[in-house]
Amino acid sequence: MAVIDSLWATLSQKTDMKTAILSIAFIFISTLCLSQNPVQSDTTILKTINVGESFELRFANSPGTGCVWYLPENYDSTQVTIYQKKEELAEGYKPKGGKYISSIEYTGLTNGTFLLEYAYGRPWLKEKLKKCNLKIIVK
């Protein structure tokens, strides 16, 4: 919030109000679009949802090389359900050896905080070339 306040102060000093509002709207829209990009690198994601609500994440996989995002540990499916909605070829890639985008849906079943640690690599080698920590808070 402090970043937005300082940005607002800077913009309002140097420009008119219309330009300042348009700039903040652009930053907000850019943030929304960025959240739709697939996970491709080390990252930590925090999501807060209500019981029964769902959200979706997208992961970029390279099955031609054997590298995919996977959960190395079992998780308690009575707390959170994980469902692969779809897998589609990424734009600009050919089916053989291409990059795929997996859409995964998470639904909170009980109250609590749940940590899922995804690894990127070859699951049969238990590789962890990258990792994505997903913390889900269910209210």
Report which of residues 119 and 33 the model is more confident about: 119
* Helix (H), strand (E) at residue 32: helix 17-34
Residues 30 and 49 in one domain: no
pLDDT value, residue 29: 47
Number of domains in the chain: 2
Q: For residue 90, what is the DSSP state?
A: P
pLDDT confidence band for 98 (50 / 70 / 90): confident
Tokens 């829209």: give the residue: 29
Question: Helix or strand or coil: residue 11?
Answer: helix
pLDDT confidence band for 18 (50 / 70 / 90): low
pLDDT value, residue 11: 47
Residues 8 and 56 in one domain: no
Give Cα 126 distance to the centre of its chain.
22
Residues 129 and 77 in one domain: yes
Report which of residues 19 and 87 the model is more confident about: 87
Residues 72 and 23 in one domain: no
Q: Which domain holds residue 75?
A: 43-138
